[in-house]
Every structure is written in structure tokens, then in C-alpha cells.
């Protein structure tokens, strides 16, 4: 074979291997190595005269790429925006280096062909290099507590109760650093606020947003002010905001009023508002969709159920799924949001002036992302329904009893919803369902104690203890 034909064959092989590798989600250098070894077996192919420094140049890109493979994509994506000029520089540099290697290795090819070969190899490798640079830069630039990567727990016992044959998974967001899903968005919102020179972040909250904002502000060296509805947030959340040094103000009014006031303060420019009306929060929170599909080995769930309060989470989760599908294919789940019966403005189609529910996290009568929730429901052919407090508590206890997972009451609304609609046939042919469990049970220990059997006290006497235990 002449050199030109050899190069052409090599180009086609590389393109094919890269395509296959991308489809399978495998680092393509592995394919290149396998392909190279196979090519080596073909008799009569020109044998390049490999010098040690060239070997170094040749192995460098796969090493870079493989290292990048272990870089969490989240931080790569968050950083690439800031280092795009660096990335372009790296593409040019890597293309040049690869061209030199190709020219030296494959005798007789012309420089344009060598450059073309280099250009094929370069983009991925330079992104890999950029990722490494980004990774080195992460601790300084991004305010993070290493949120995300929460477990996706199979829940066969609950699944059976919802609909036989259903595969149910619980995305336990209560295992984020501050115990709720808010951390995914807060890392982006606080990092960007800090980068823009803000000194104070501000939020209205039913508790979890304030806990998260307080922690990330502390970590980022910013001040944090939180406005909560007086007497209506769970003890654990209040404790978090306080211990992280936030300025906590309780307004005599509900969450909706607190958010209105915070918005006005934000408009005055005194502080950056880190509620989910801040688009950075949505960008961070959408990562959950990518993570779930990865954890399911590339499968997209048929149904995704979650509680709905201010509706930022359903908006973000849907954004994640739809953007992922537009890029990588595979479809989207039906989004199923559940509000508490006494706080169900979206279901009722009108603002609720005095929302009521024991699930204080979603005690919201005028969701800021109302439109986002409607879009998620309509575009995904899903639904937004409501569950009673009794159904929420039943799901809360079932999660703890049947699956060993302790969540706060609002977090059980998604499961309560599936338990409610499962028997009605509303799940259709769905095979795989995912529920976001938004917050940890320890956030609201008072509720746990209240719905559980009382602790008995006995004397320090073995016989009495034995009798009581074996009763």
C-alpha cells in the first residue's frame, strides 16, 4: 500500500473508532490502541521508525484524555466557559503536535495530510488538557462542597406497592453536603456571585435553600442573609443557617411574601438573590438528570416523580433531561410533580393565599417557576397532581420502614404521588421510574418523633428490660 492510501485508511479507521467509542461512552484512545495493534498485524504495511521522544508525544494525548475521563464532567463544564481561549490554544497546539508525530511516523506523507490527521486527534485531547487545567483551578475558583453524585437506590418493596413489575429508584438528594438537593444549584449560584464581585447573598426560604446558601457563603467567604417565614421552618434547617453564621430574619408572613420582599431587595442591588429565580441555580440543579441516566447505565427513566414547591426543581430537572436528550438522544421521561393538597396552586390553577401542609418545605402558594413547571408537564406529557398530608406521611413512613431511607416529609411527596396514581393506570407502560428524594429526614427530627411510637422508659433492671423487649 502506498503512504497516501495508508493515511486515508488510517483517517477512516480513526473516525470510525471515535464514533463507535462515543456511542459506547468509552475513552476512544482505548480503541486507538486496539486499532493500532490490529493494524500492526497487517503484513506489508510500512513500519515507522519510532524514536523515543516521538513515543512520548504519541502516548501523551491518551494519557491526557484518560486523566480527563476521571474528571467530573460537572466541573469541566463549569470551567470550560472561562477557559475557552485556553482551549482554543490547546486545540491548535495539540493539532500541531499530532501533525508532527504523524509526519515523522508515516514516511512520505505531505504536511497538509499530517495536519488533517492532527486535527482529528486534537479536539478531544485538548479538551482533556483543558479539563486538567480546570481541575487544578477548581479549588480556588469554584465554591464547592463536592455536592452531587448522590446514590440512586433501587426500591423494590415500594415498587411492588406502586405497580407490580415497576423498576423504582430513589435519587437520594438528602445525601448532599447540606442534606438537600439545593447544593447542586448553590455551588453554581454562589461561585458566580463571588466571581462577579458580590459580597452578600440573599434568599427567602422554607429552610433548605437557607441552609445551603449559608454553608456555601461561609465556604466562599461571603456574607449570607436569609428571610424565613416565622415559625414555619424545620429545626434542623434553622440550625444549619445559624451555625454557618447567616443573618437569619423571620418575617411575619408566609414564604411567598418573604420571596416578594427578597426580590425587591435584590432589585435594589444590595445582594445577589440565590433563590431558584436565579438562573445559575437551575443550571446547577439540572445536573441531576445527567447523573441519573449515567447511573442507569445510559437508560432514560420512563417516569420521573418529585415534589413541587416553588417549582425550580422540576424546571431544572426537565431542562437537564431535555438538553441531554437533544445532545445524546435516548428520549426523556414523563415528569410527574406532586404538590401538597393544601398548597397546590399549579393543580388548582390559581394562587393559594394561605397555603397549608405539614410538609413545610413545599408550603408555597405562588411558585416562582410556575411556568417552568407547566412546560415540564406539557412537553414531557407528564402531570402535576396533589397528595394529602396523610398520603405524604404514609409515604414518609413507607420509605423509612420498607426501604430504610429517612427523608423529610416534603421529600416523600413524589413517592406519595406514585403510590396514589400507580393503581389508577396513569403510569401506563412505564418500566423504570425515578423519584427525587429532595431532603434528609434529620432536617425535621420533630416530625419523625411525632409520627413514631413513643419511647418507653424502664428501670435499670434486666428482668424488666427483657419483659418489655419481648412483649
For ligand F0G, the binding residue among 29, 118, 312, 422 (CB under 6 A) is 312
H/E segment holding residue 226? strand 223-229
The interface region with ligand F0G, picked from 14-22, 108-116, 126-134, 202-210 by CB under 6 A, is 202-210
In the three-class reduction of DSSP (H, G, I as helix; E, B as strand; rest coil), residue 307 is classed as: strand
> Shortest distance, CB of residue 99 to ligand F0G, whole angstroms?
50
Nearest one of 345, 304, 338 to 324, comparing CA atoms: 304
Judged by CB under 6 A, does residue 384 bind ligand F0G? no
Nearest distance in Å: CB 191, ligand F0G = 19
What is the nearest approach in angstroms of ligand F0G to the Cβ of residue 57?
50
Q: Residue 213 or 293: which CB sits closer to ligand F0G?
A: 213
- The region of 73-81, 121-129, 201-209, 395-403 touching ligand F0G under the rule CB under 6 A is 201-209
Are 420 and 395 in contact by the 8 Å Cβ rule? The answer is no
Q: Are 412 and 173 in contact (CB under 8 A)?
A: no
Cβ atoms of 437 and 416 closer than 8 Å? no
Which residue of 284, 307, 320, 345 would you call a contact of ligand F0G, by CB under 6 A?
A: 307
395 interacts with ligand F0G by CB under 6 A: no
Please identify which residue in 308, 336, 346, 352 interacts with ligand F0G, judged by CB under 6 A: 308
When asked if residue 276 is in the footprint of ligand F0G (CB under 6 A), the reply is yes
Which of 32, 411, 412, 420: binder of ligand F0G (CB under 6 A)? 411
Q: Give yes or no for a contact between 174 and 414, defined as CB atoms under 8 angstroms apart.
A: no
- When binding is defined by CB under 6 A, the residue of 109, 234, 289, 410 that contacts ligand F0G is 410
Please report how many Cα atoms fall inside a 13 Å half-sphere around the Cα of residue 256, on the Cβ side. 18
CB distance 311 to 345 below 8 Å: no
Strand partners, 229: 251
CB within 8 Å of 142: residues ≥ 6 apart:
75, 78, 79, 187, 191
What H or E segment, with its residue span, contains residue 35? Answer: helix 28-41
Residue with smaller CB distance to ligand F0G, 284 or 312: 312
- Residues 203-222 contacting ligand F0G, CB under 6 A: 205-209
C-alpha cell at 261: 420582599
Site string for ligand F0G, 421-460 (x = CB under 6 A): -----------------xx---------------------
Nearer to ligand F0G, 69 or 370 (CB): 370
Q: Which of 418, 411, 462 is nearest to 439 (CA)?
A: 411
Distance from the first to the final alpha carbon of the chain: 87
For ligand F0G, the closer of residues 180 and 322 by Cβ is 180
Distance in angstroms (rounded) separating the CA atoms of residues 445 and 429:
38
CB of 144 to ligand F0G, least distance (A): 19
Which residues is 19 bridged to in the sheet? none
DSSP 258-301: HHHHHHHHHHTTSSEE-STTSHHHHHHHTHHHHHHHHHTTTPPP
Q: Whose Cβ is closer to ligand F0G: residue 362's or residue 434's? A: 362
Q: Which is nearer to ligand F0G, 79 or 178 (CB)?
A: 178
Q: Are 392 and 338 in contact (CB under 8 A)?
A: no
Stretch binding ligand F0G (CB under 6 A), from 29-37, 109-117, 320-328, 407-415: 407-415
Q: At closest approach, how far in Å is the CB of 181 from ligand F0G?
A: 7
Site of interaction with ligand F0G (CB under 6 A)? 180, 205-209, 276, 307-314, 361-362, 408, 410-411, 438-439
Amino acid at each position: 500500500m502506498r503512504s497516501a492510501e495508508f493515511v486515508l485508511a488510517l483517517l477512516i479507521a480513526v473516525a470510525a473508532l471515535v464514533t463507535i467509542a462515543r456511542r459506547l461512552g468509552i475513552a476512544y484512545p482505548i480503541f486507538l490502541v486496539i486499532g493500532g495493534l490490529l493494524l500492526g498485524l497487517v503484513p506489508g504495511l510500512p513500519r515507522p521508525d519510532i524514536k523515543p521522544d516521538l513515543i512520548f508525544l504519541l502516548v501523551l494525548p491518551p494519557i491526557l484524555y484518560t486523566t480527563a475521563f476521571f474528571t467530573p464532567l460537572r466541573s469541566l463544564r463549569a470551567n470550560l466557559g472561562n477557559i475557552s481561549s485556553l482551549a482554543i490554544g490547546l486545540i491548535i497546539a495539540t493539532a500541531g503536535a499530532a501533525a508532527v508525530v504523524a509526519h515523522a511516523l508515516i514516511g512520505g506523507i505531505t504536511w497538509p495530510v499530517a495536519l488533517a490527521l492532527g486535527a482529528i486527534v486534537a479536539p478531544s485531547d485538548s479538551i482533556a488538557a483543558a479539563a486538567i487545567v480546570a481541575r487544578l483551578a477548581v479549588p480556588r475558583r469554584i465554591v464547592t462542597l463536592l455536592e452531587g453524585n448522590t446514590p440512586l437506590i433501587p426500591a423494590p418493596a415500594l415498587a411492588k406497592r406502586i405497580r407490580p413489575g415497576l423498576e423504582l429508584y430513589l435519587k437520594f438528594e438528602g445525601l448532599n453536603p447540606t442534606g438537600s438537593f439545593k447544593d447542586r444549584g448553590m455551588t453554581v449560584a454562589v461561585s458566580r456571585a463571588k466571581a462577579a464581585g458580590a459580597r452578600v447573598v440573599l434568599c427567602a426560604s422554607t429552610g433548605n435553600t437557607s441552609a445551603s446558601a449559608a454553608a456555601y457563603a461561609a465556604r466562599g467567604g461571603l456574607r449570607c442573609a436569609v428571610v424565613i417565614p416565622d415559625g414555619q421552618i424545620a429545626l434542623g434547617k434553622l440550625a444549619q443557617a445559624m451555625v454557618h453564621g447567616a443573618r437569619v430574619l423571620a418575617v411575619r408572613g408566609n414564604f411567598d411574601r418573604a420571596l416578594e420582599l427578597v426580590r425587591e431587595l435584590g432589585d435594589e442591588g444590595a445582594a445577589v438573590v440565590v433563590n431558584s429565580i436565579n438562573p445559575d441555580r437551575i443550571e446547577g440543579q439540572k445536573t441531576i438528570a445527567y447523573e441519573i441516566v449515567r447511573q442507569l447505565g445510559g437508560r432514560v427513566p420512563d417516569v420521573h416523580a418529585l415534589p413541587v414547591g416553588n417549582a425550580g426543581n422540576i424546571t431544572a430537572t426537565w431542562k437537564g433531561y431535555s438538553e441531554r436528550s437533544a445532545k445524546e438522544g435516548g428520549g426523556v421521561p414523563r415528569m410527574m410533580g406532586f404538590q401538597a393538597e393544601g398548597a397546590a396552586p399549579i393543580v388548582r390553577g390559581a394562587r393559594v393565599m394561605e397555603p397549608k401542609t405539614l410538609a413545610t418545605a413545599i408550603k408555597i402558594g405562588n411558585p416562582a417557576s410556575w411556568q417552568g413547571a407547566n412546560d415540564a408537564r406539557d412537553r414531557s406529557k407528564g402531570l402535576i397532581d396533589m397528595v394529602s398530608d396523610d398520603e405524604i406521611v404514609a409515604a414518609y413512613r413507607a420509605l423509612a420502614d420498607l426501604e430504610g431511607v429517612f427523608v423529610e416529609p416534603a421529600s416523600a411527596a413524589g413517592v406519595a404521588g406514585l403510590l396514589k396514581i400507580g393503581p389508577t393506570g396513569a403510569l401506563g407502560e412505564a418500566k423504570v421510574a425515578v423519584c427525587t428524594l429532595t431532603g434528609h429526614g434529620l432536617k425535621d427530627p420533630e416530625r419523625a418523633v411525632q409520627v413514631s411510637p413513643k419511647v418507653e422508659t424502664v428501670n435499670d433492671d434486666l428482668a424488666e428490660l427483657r419483659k418489655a423487649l419481648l412483649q
